Each structure stands twice: as structure tokens, then as C-alpha cells.
Amino acid sequence: MLQKKICMLGGFAVGKTSLVRRFVQSIFSETYLTTVGVKIDKKSVAFPDKTVDLILWDLAGEDDIGSFRVSYVRGATGLVLVVDGTRPATLAVALTLRERVEAEFGAMPFVLLFNKSDLADRWAIPDGEIDELRQLGWQIYLTSALSGAYVEDAFRQLASMVAK
Amino acid sequence: METLRQLLVGREISELSRVAHLLDEPEQLAAAVGSVLPDAAARASHAQLGEAFAPIVERAAQRSIQKNPRTLTDILYPVFLPAIRKSIGEKIDQTFQSLNESLRHIFTWHGLKWRFEAWRTGASFSEVVLNHSLVYRVEHVFLIDRSSGLLIAHVTAENAMSEDPQLISSMLSAIQDFVRDSFNEKEQSGLDTIRFGELRLWSEVGPFATLVSVIRGNPPEELHEIIRDVLLRIHDEYSQALEHFDGDSSQLASVETQLQTCVELKHEESNEGFPWLVVAAVLLVLIPTGIWFFLSWQSGQRWQAYVSRVASQPGIIVAEQTARDGQFYIAGLRDPLAADPQSLLSGTQVDPARVHANWQFYQSLEPEFVLKRLTASLAPPDSVRLSVVKDRIVAEGEANATWISRAQAAAQQLSAGGPVFDISRVRDVSPEARAAEHWQAYVSRLGTQPGIIVAEQKIRDGQFYIAGLRDPLAADPQSLLSGTQVDPGRVHSQWQFYQSLEPEFVLKRLTASLYPLKSVRLSIVDNRIVAEGEAPDTWIDRARAAARLLSAGGPEFDISKVRDVSPEAREAEHWQYYVSRLEAQPGIIVAQQTERGGQFYISGLRDPLAADPKALLSGTQVDPARVHSQWQFFQSLDPKFVVKRLTASLSPPKSVQLSIIQGRILVVGEAPAGWISRAQAAAEQLSADGVVLDVSQLRELNLAELNHLREAIQTTDIFFSSGRVVPGPEQSPVLDRLADQLKEFAENARKAGVTARFMLTGHSDTTGRETANASISAARAETVRALLNKRGVAPELLLVRGAGTFEPAVPENENSRTGNSTNRRVSVTVNLE
């Protein structure tokens, strides 16, 4: 059994919870987020030779970076950075969070999800910016919690990265 | 060569010498090694380096502690303090838990049961309480990586359910982090305990992994230590793997066996329910054995009942009996005539097949068996009835002589040890036997007759012979034959006369010989012949003689109750009566009395006031001429006589009464002082004789007025003219007054209980002859008496005397021719009696 702790980071209302709701095993209700500040879910990703259990720590998203509980990230081997594609500010939040985590625990694999891709009309992130980030070698997915597009791919990608 | 070498390896040589120099110089070597040591250590294999350094570090630590323990203590302080604090906390929790549980159960039914258990097992009460109340089960154990919160291993108890353990372990770490962050807790240990209803989550934090146990129920605090031990062991064994845990738990699969030991921890109330199986098994064994015991007991009881029944049978003697292995053995003796022991078995519920009897026959000597045998052997006729009376076999009825003789033979045989066979009540019905019977009846009739003694009697050849003694006064044996059916012609009697000493015969003979008078009655009282009544001494003498004759062997003849009626005896009787009469008299003491030659002599003391002994003779039929008395007078101290004497000597006034009260003489009343003093003197005299004369209650007579009157009377003189014996007329008023005074005085004195008497003394002057003067004085007194009498004074109260010239009122002048007129007078003096 191989399992990895993965933290999902993102600003307020970027759709982290919605992302996992459909694709993961969960036993805890969303109220944990507002009470304990964290919600644990699991996503099993099967590869031909092994199965990786991603233990997803869904951290309560807040725009106030100062209140972010870094301690929750301890022991994590990967990150899922979630950005709301309709709100450019959330990209900055995600990046800031990543920086803080890396400062604390060192660099670790991550995937960057631009969520709410279904809301094309309200999309506010220029493609050039995304490409720039791709140039850095980052794994970037335009996902939709609504349609489910690229969600599986993103988790699979992250699983292969952490299970190496 | 050297040059060549210099050329070829010269640079190397110099380098070599530098290195050698470096190695030779410790300071330089230390500097060289020191510069590379950290890097070398970092590059060295961890395991090897650890191995190499371990002894050095240990020694270094040892030295450090020896040098100054404080240094290491200071270093370790932050590590130990939380551990110590936690351990103490747990201990305190443990104590509280024990106390809480003890208090909670102290007064409950369980509490009582557990108290008993504590007493039984010797454990303390709180231990027992914890043992029972701490019912728990470890349902899950999670071994969680400390840094990532990832599940390393998870073990579940049987039947325990939980959601995804991976998620749970992560969430647990998340919550730990949450608590730590929320309350700024710097503690390394993290969250110890989470409790939710019946469930408890205990987490033990190790260096790399946290062991979380999910416990249902009420675990003892000691469980912490057990879990901690497991965690420590896991850390010992898998420290490498734990340290480098990267989410791949395949290397740590064997941890689960360690965790399994935790899950097996539980304490369940021994709620095994009622042990039906055991009870059933026990019952299975007990019931048949119980039934078996009951049956054997019951059959034993029945056997015993049978044995006692057999033993109580007449003619059966049980010598031995026993019950063994369900078989019954009995042995003994039985009379052939007795009941069959076998037949007695019926109705006893004793199985006859299991009874083994061994009976010996014997002849029972019990009367009923003897009776049976006698009945069989003697074949008694119908007129004879055999029966058992008080262990004796009695034959009654009539039978002929042959049967009787056979029965007698049988009786003799029986006599050895057996019951008595009494055939005496079988009457021989043969004529001879009848005649003999009648004869015996006649003989026994004679034997009961008083005055007849049968000495010998026999029957021979149909003739009856009898010999003996008979008193002539007894019944005639011949006449007694009548009615006995004995033929007088066949009776030959030979009677000797004798005197029976039986009281009635003696009485008869005495009556015949003594011819007692009518006044004497003879009777038998307790085998004694008693004579009562009166008889002259001649008869009594004869009776006495007869009594003396009788005394040898015969009954006693008592004549003491016959009174002698001869004259002397009667006179003596009369005399004794007189003497006893005298003795009963008060004031007479008979000292001696005797009768001699028809004369009676008596002497003694008599009070003069007592009755006259002579006078007492009258009516006693004693001839006074034959009585010779000699009495000495004495004063009896009997109060009655004392009173008599006092009355005679003191002549108490009428106002005084003498009485005898309880042996004392009491004088009560009023009396003149003079009389009282005389009475007191008498009392003193009498007290010497032991007689009490109580005069304390006497009161003096009040004579004050009388005294005054007496004074007036005694100072009155009646004067006379010279030679005259009649007072002149001028004296009449004086006489009148005097008469009145005398009468008054006499009257008053009488009232006071005394008698007043007045002495009239006549006086004369000295002129003339003496004899004339004496007669004149007496005459003058007589004249005054008459004059006073004439004036109503009772003459018996007036006494007269003539004093002549011897009591002159004034001394006479010898030379006077006319004499003194004052001395020619009559004076009065008063006497009280």
C-alpha cells in the first residue's frame, strides 16, 4: 500500500471542495472545513504496477494568507494548487501559498489547476500567462469541477509524480 | 642513481615526505583531519558510523555525568520533564479513577458482592471495583506516521467497524495539529485522549509514529503503559523504516502483529450467564445417585421394619441379620408353632428372592407356646380350660383323677425353666375327691374359729380324723359340721381343752370369775382388757389379783380406771377437795397437809383478812373434829389484802377511792393534807415489800373557808358567872352564832368527805375546891352542849370534857378572891376525821 499526503491549496471559493466532491472517496462532511479547518479525502490512482492512495488534505481556503495553517502541510509529498480561472487574484494567492509551504518544508511536486474552465465567458486568465507558467515545467490543467474535465488527469499526473 | 631517482620521482619524494611529516606531527594531522571530519562523518555510512561512535559517545556521556551531572541534566531536562509530568499525571488519574469507581459502587448491590469478593480473594476493595467496572475493549489501533499523518498500520478487533482507516488516521493528525495550533500548544506529545461517549481515543506519541487506540468502554489507566510499551517495541524494531516512512507501508507490514497485541486487550465482565451445562451435568450425576441412595435407604428401612416385625413375633428369636450388596441375611431360632417368617414377608415390599434366611427350630418356653404344646399332648377334656394367666398356665374346670395325674406329670416336666403349670384349680370329679373337698372346707372352717386350734387332720380309708385344742368357751366343733356335707359318722375328733389367751376368751373368763359389779364395765381396747367404773376396794383387790395372774402370756388387764368406793378413800377424796379449796383462797398458803390414822393435819399461813379456813370446811363433808389446823398469820401482799388493810388502818375519807389496776393500788380523790401524808407514809412502807401504792393522784382537800370558820369557832368562848353552870342571858347571841357556825362547818366538812366533831371543853377559875371546879367545868360543857343541841347542832358531833382549872385562858392570880371571869368559860375545838 502506497499512500501520499497531498495538500490542496487555494484561495477562497476557488472550487477545491467541488473538485474533489465528485472524484474522491470522502467520509467527512464539508463542515470540517469550517470547524477544524481541514477535510481529509482520498483519491486512489491505479497504475499498472501499483496503486497510489492520495490522501487529500483540503485546507480551508482563505484570501487572508496570514491565517493559513502551515502545520497542516507537514509531511505532505505533493500539492494541488487550485486557482479560480475567473478571478486572476486567486492565482497569486495559490502561488503565495506554495511559496510559503516550500519555505517551510522545501520543494515538493505539485499540479496547478485552473478551475471553473466551464465558465469560458468569464475567464480572466490570459492564455499567455498560462503558457509562461508551463514554460517553467509546471503541470497545469484547466479543470472543471462541473464537467470533470482534466480532474482525473491532474490527480493521475500528481500521483505519478509523487510515487516516483 | 640518486639523481636519476630525483629526476624520476623527486617531486613525489618531496610530496611523500610532506605527507609523512604531516602524519608524524600530531598537531598537523589533527588540523588536517579536523578540516575533513564533519564532511567525512556526513559521507560515512550511518550504520557504521553509529556503531563506531556509540561506545565513544557512551563513554563521553559517562564522563560528563561523572564530571558534572548538571550539564547533561540541563540538556535532557526539556526532554524528560514532559515525560515525567505525563507519567505523574497518569498515576494521579489512575488514583482518581480507582477512588471514583470505589465511591460509585460503595453502596450498591454490586458493591456488596464485590466487597465479599474482596474478602474472599484477599484483594483490596478498590482493585475489585476496578476489575469489575473497567470493562473495555480495544477496537482499533492505528499506527500513524507522525509527520504526514499517513497510516502505517491499522488493526481492528473482531466485529469492530470503522470507516476508511487512512482517512481516519489523517483526520486524527489533522485534529491534533488543529488543537496544537489553535491553543498555541508547544507540547510535543500532542492530543492524549479524545472521548466520545463510550469511545475513547488514546494516542501515544512516539518519535516517528503515533499509536492511536480506539477503546470502547472504561479502560484502566494502566492501559496507557501497555500501549506505550507496544509503541516503544515497534520503535525499537522498526526505527529505520519508521524514520524513512514515505507512505509505503509494505515494509512495515509485520508491525500489525505487534498492534494485534493491543487489539487483543480487553476486559469483559464475566457475563457467562448461568452455567446450564455444568448444572445439567451435575444433575445428571446427582439425580441417579440420589435415587439410588434413596432406594437403598428405603429398602434398608423396609428390611429393618420386617426384621423388627419378625423379632416381635413370639417363638422367633433373631440372632443375626444383615444387609449386604442389596441382599438380606437373617438367622435365628424359631419355634415350629411360631408364625412362618417367610409368610411375614408379604406386605413388607421386601423382595423375598433377596432374603436369605437360616432358621433353627427350638421349643419356645413362652407360655403361649407351652400352652399350645400342652393342649396338643394332654388333650384336656371339654370340662377343662387351659389359659395363660400372668405367665402361668392355669388349668381350670373338672377332670377325673387320671387326667389330673397326667397333668401333674406334665407340670413336673415343665417346671425346669418353663412357665408354671397350675392345675390346682382343676377339681377332681371323683366321689372321694368330693368328700375330701368337703372335709377340707370343714377343717378350714374350724381353723378360723377363735378358741379352736387344729393340730392334725387326715383322711384315711374314707374316714376323717382331726385332733387339736379347744377352749371350753369356743364354738362346738361338732355343731360346726352341720351344713358342710361331711358325714358326722365318719368324723373322729379328739379335742383337748385349753384356755385360750385370746382377749375375748380372757374377757369371758374374767367376767365369769370376777362377777363385776354393775358399776364396772369390762371391754377390749387394743388387745387389752380394760375395766372402768366404780367398785369397793375389795373388788378392786380381787381384780388386781386376776390381772397379776393374767400377765404371764395373756392380754393385759387394766383396772386403773376403776375408782375405789370404800369410805376411807371417799374421806380422803373429800379432804383433798377441802385442801384444794383452801389453796384456791387468796391470802391462804397451805404449807403442808397429811392424812394419818383417819386424822387430817394441815398447816400454813393465813392473812387475818383472808377467809376463815374453818368456815370453809362447811359443805366439804370433812369431819371438823378430825381436822387439825395450824395457821400462822401473815400479811398477804396480794393487792386485795393490802387494800383491805389500808382501808382498815388509814380509814380513807369518802372522797377517796382505792382501786387495783394491773397489780398496782391506785388512790384517787381529795383528802385532807394530814390524811394524804399518812397515805404517803404507807406507800413508802409498802414499796419496801414490793407493793405499789400510787398516791400521786390524790388532791388536797380545799379547806380554806373551813379553816376560816374553824378559826372563828375555836376563838369563841361561852362565859359563865362565878359558881354558875348556865351562861347568863347575855351569852345567848354568842350561842346562837356559834350554833350556826358549827352547823355550817359540819355541813361543809361533810360535803368535803370528812366528818367534823366539836370538842366542848369546860373550864373554871381557881377559886374553890379542885373537885368542885372539875365538876363545874364538865357541867358547864354539858350545859353548852345541850344549849347547842337545842339550837339544832347534832349531838353526836358534840363531845364534852371538863378541864377544870388546868387549861386556863389567862393565868390566875393566886391571891384573887373572886377568880378570873375569863377563865370561867366553855371553849370549842374542831376535829376532822
Instruction: Give me B674's grid cell.
Output: 394530814
Interface test with A, best of B145, B171, B245, B250 (most A CBs within 10 A): B171
Residue ranges per structural domain of chain B = 1-34, 134-267, 276-361, 367-429, 567-633, 702-833
Q: How far is A67 from chain B (nearest CA, A)?
A: 11
- Displacement of CA A163 from its chain's centroid (Å): 17
- Rounded to an integer, the average pLDDT of A69-94 is 88
Helix (H) or strand (E) run with residue B241 in it: helix B222-243
Give chain A positions within 8 Å (CB) of B170: 5, 40, 55, 57
Cα B126 from Cα B757, distance rounded (Å) = 134
Which has the higher per-residue pLDDT, A65 or B556? B556
Q: Calculate helix-pair angle for B125-133, B69-105, nearest 10 degrees.
A: 80
**Cα B191 from Cα B772, distance rounded (Å):** 182
Please check the confidence at residue B686 and state whether its pLDDT lies above 90: no
Residues of A in contact with B148 (CB under 8 A): 5, 74-77
C-alpha span between B683 and B317 (Å, rounded): 108
Confidence band for A111, pLDDT divided at 50, 70 and 90: very high
Cα distance between residue B56 and residue B59, in whole Å: 5
Q: Read off the pLDDT of each residue in B428-441 and give the average, rounded to a whole number.
A: 78
Question: Looking at CA atoms only, how far is residue B92 from chain A in angstroms?
Answer: 31
CATH superfamily of B702-833: OmpA-like domain (3.30.1330.60)
Residues 6+ apart with CB under 8 A from B185: B179
Confidence tier at A140 by pLDDT (50, 70, 90): very high
Chain A positions in Cβ-Cβ contact with residue B175 (cut-off 8 Å): 36
Residue A92 reports pLDDT greater than 80 = yes
pLDDT digits (tens, 9 = 90+) for B533-553: 877 777 777 887 777 777 666
Residue pair B646/B653 in contact by the 8 Å Cβ criterion: no
Cβ pair A6, A55 in contact under 8 A = yes
Pairing of strands B664-671, B698-700: parallel
Q: How far apart are CA B312 and CA B334, in angstroms?
A: 12
Listed residue (B401, B486, B397) closest to B435, CA to CA: B486
Strands B588-596, B557-564: pairing kind: unpaired
Chain B neighbors of A59, CB-CB under 8 A: none
Q: Which CATH number fits domain B134-267: 3.40.50.300, 3.30.450.70, 1.10.3210.10, 3.40.220.10?
A: 3.30.450.70
Confidence of residue B185 (pLDDT cuts 50, 70, 90): low
User: Shortest Cα distance from A72 to chain B (angstroms)?
Assistant: 7
Write out the CATH class of domain B367-429: alpha beta
Find the distance separating the first CA and the last CA of chain B, reported in whole Å: 216
- A1 and chain B in contact, CB less than 8 A: yes
Residue B524 has pLDDT above 50, yes or no: yes
Average pLDDT of B593-598? 83
Cross-chain CB nearest to A77 (options B166, B173, B247) = B247
Report the distance separating Cα B833 and Cα B822, nearest Å: 30
Q: What is the Cα–Cα distance from A138 to B329, expressed in whole angstroms?
A: 115
Domain CATH code at residue A12: 3.40.50.300
Cβ separation of B149 and A36 shorter than 8 Å? no
Burial bucket for residue B283 (CB in 10 Å: 0-12, 13-18, 19+): exposed
Q: Which residue of A has its CA nearest to B146?
A: A75
Q: A-B interface: how many C-beta pairs under 8 angstroms?
A: 75
Mean pLDDT calculated for residue range B647-667? 81
Alpha helices in B517-671 (DSSP H): 537-550, 567-584, 613-617, 639-650
Out of B174, B180, B249, whose CB is closest to A40?
B174
CATH code reported for the domain at B276-361: 3.30.300
Q: What is the mean pLDDT of residues A53-63?
A: 80
Helices (H), B358-430: 367-378, 401-414
pLDDT of residue B274: 58
Query: Out of B171, B180, B250, whose CB is closest to A40?
Result: B171
DSSP string, B556-595: -EEEEEEEE--HHHHHHHHHHHHHHHHHHSTTEEEEEEEE
Flag whether pLDDT at A99 surpasses 50: yes
Cβ distance of B167 and A42 shorter than 8 Å: yes
Cβ of A37 and B178 within 8 Å?
A: yes
The string of pLDDT tens digits covering residues B772-817 is: 888 888 999 999 999 999 999 988 889 999 888 888 877 776 656 6
Structural contact between residues B69 and B176, judged by C-beta atoms closer than 8 angstroms = no
- Compute the distance between CA of residue A106 and CA of residue A108 in angstroms, rounded to an integer: 6
Question: Cell numbers of B269, please?
Answer: 465482565
Count how many residues are written for chain B: 833
Residue with cell 540538556: B75
Q: How many domains would you assign to chain A?
A: 1
What pLDDT score does B189 carry? 54
Q: What is the pLDDT of residues B127-150, one digit of tens each?
A: 777 667 677 888 888 888 888 888
State the pLDDT confidence band at B162, using cuts at 50, 70 and 90.
Answer: confident
Total-model pTM: 0.39
Find the CB nearest B174 among A42, A53, A72: A72
Q: What is the mean pLDDT of residues B71-85?
A: 77
Dihedral of the CA atoms A103, A105, A109, A113 (nearest 10)? -60
Minimal Cβ distance to A27: which of B148, B149, B163: B163
What is the per-residue pLDDT across A149-161, written as a single tens digit (0 to 9) for each?
888 899 999 999 9
Residues of chain A with Cβ-Cβ distance to B164 below 8 Å are 25, 27, 42
CA separation for the pair B274, B269 (Å, rounded):
14
The upper half-sphere exposure of residue A138, i.e. CA atoms within 13 Å in the direction of its Cβ, equals: 22
User: pLDDT value at position A113?
Assistant: 92
Whether A51 contacts chain B with CB within 8 A: no
DSSP state string for B49-99: HHHHHHHHHHHHHHHHHHH-HHHHHHHHHHHHHHHHHHHHHHHHHHHHHHH
The gap from C-alpha B512 to its chain's centroid, in whole angstroms, comes to: 71
> How big is the CA angle at B439 (ends B437 and B441), to the nearest 5 degrees?
70
Mean residue pLDDT of chain B comes to: 81
- Residue to substitute from A1, A72, A74, interface B, most B β-carbons within 10 A: A1
pLDDT at B703: 64
CB B592 within 8 A of CB B564: no
Q: Domain range spanning residue A8?
A: 2-162
Per-residue pLDDT tens digits for B272-285: 455 667 778 888 88
Mean pLDDT of B666-680: 81
H-run or E-run covering B781: helix B770-790
Smallest Cβ–Cβ distance between A42 and the set B164, B180, B248 belongs to B164
End-to-end CA distance of chain A: 14
Shortest distance, CA B120 to any CA of chain A (angstroms): 51
Pick the residue with more confidence: B287 or A70? Answer: B287
